[in-house]
């Protein structure tokens, strides 16, 4: 019995060391990430978007790769700081990438819905600025079409209640943006997400040139096809974006 107790006693430090360098390190990393996220949210509350952006980046460094949904949510929060720093088109592309990953990797339908809604809002705001900048109708229509498709899918797949009403209002606003006269748009107050952003048209053109497309592919059709593919993946993979509230 004494030998057994001695062995158990000797094993305690080994177990503690194993925990420290294994699960203990993961917990410490999550704690560090949580502190950075709290710092980011505090910075957001005082409109210090640069500090918030940096804190979210540091949180992503610490968040374990296995914390899929936490990383997706943090990536989304990071992307949402970018429009306030004059990086709206870049943020729009980033959120679309996050959405692709979420549809493929996440089973949290509410999170996927939030990412899709943000993507729709960013396309909407980019279209607003492109119209003010005098972009060709074909260019800004691609953005309103992408926003419309996102909001339409959210409203169709929503279970109802306040969430559906919100998505339907966003859908209606997008349709109005596409149909209103430019003079009407110029008379409206600029959304806060659009301020400090310039040359959205040029940035979007550069992004498109960086993406290889088959000759003759239609931009609006591309948006519809991509969102339909996301819908199919969600239905098959358990991450249905319409399954949220």
pTM: 0.79
Q: Are residues 211 and 90 in the same domain?
A: yes
Domain termination residue (choose one: 11, 36, 66): 66
DSSP string, 182-213: HHHHHHSPPPTTTTT---HHHHHHHHHHHS--
Tally the domains of the chain. 2
Q: Are residues 33 and 98 in the same domain?
A: no
Q: How far apart are CA 52 and CA 235, in angstroms?
A: 34
Biggest distance spanned by C-alpha atoms of the chain: 90
Q: How far apart are CA 10 and CA 118, in angstroms?
A: 54
Q: Are residues 37 and 92 in the same domain?
A: no
Q: Are residues 211 and 121 in the same domain?
A: yes
Q: Are residues 110 and 58 in the same domain?
A: no
Could you read off the pLDDT of 1-36 as tens digits, one per residue?
Answer: 565 555 444 554 544 444 444 556 789 999 999 999
Residue 195 lies in a domain: yes
User: Where is average pLDDT lowest: 66-70, 127-131, 232-236?
Assistant: 232-236
Q: Are residues 94 and 177 in the same domain?
A: yes
Domain extent for 55: 19-66
Could you read off the pLDDT of 65-78 as tens digits, one per residue?
Answer: 999 999 999 999 99
Q: How far apart are CA 192 and CA 85, in angstroms?
A: 11
């Amino acid at each position: 019995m004494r030998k057994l107790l001695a062995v158990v006693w000797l094993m305690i430090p080994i177990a503690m060391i194993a925990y420290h360098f294994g699960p203990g390190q993961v917990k410490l990393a999550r704690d560090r990430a949580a502190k950075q996220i709290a710092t980011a949210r505090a910075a957001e509350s005082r409109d210090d978007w640069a500090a918030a952006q940096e804190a979210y980046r540091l949180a992503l460094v610490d968040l374990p790769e296995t914390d899929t949904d936490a990383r997706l949510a943090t990536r989304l929060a990071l992307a949402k700081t970018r429009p306030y720093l004059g990086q709206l088109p870049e943020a729009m592309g980033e959120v679309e990438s996050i959405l692709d990953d979420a549809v493929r990797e996440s089973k949290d339908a509410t999170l996927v819905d939030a990412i899709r809604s943000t993507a729709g809002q960013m396309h909407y705001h980019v279209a607003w600025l492109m119209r003010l900048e005098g972009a060709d109708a074909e260019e800004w229509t691609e953005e309103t079409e992408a926003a419309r498709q996102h909001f339409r899918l959210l409203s169709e797949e929503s279970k109802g209640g306040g969430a559906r009403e919100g998505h339907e209002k966003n859908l209606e606003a997008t349709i109005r943006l596409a149909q209103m006269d430019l003079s009407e748009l110029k008379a409206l107050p600029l959304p806060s997400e659009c301020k400090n952003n310039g040359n959205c048209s040029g940035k979007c053109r550069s992004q498109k040139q960086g993406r290889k497309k088959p000759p003759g592919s239609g931009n609006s059709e591309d948006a519809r096809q991509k969102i339909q593919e996301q819908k199919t993946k969600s239905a098959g993979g358990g991450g249905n974006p319409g399954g949220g509230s």
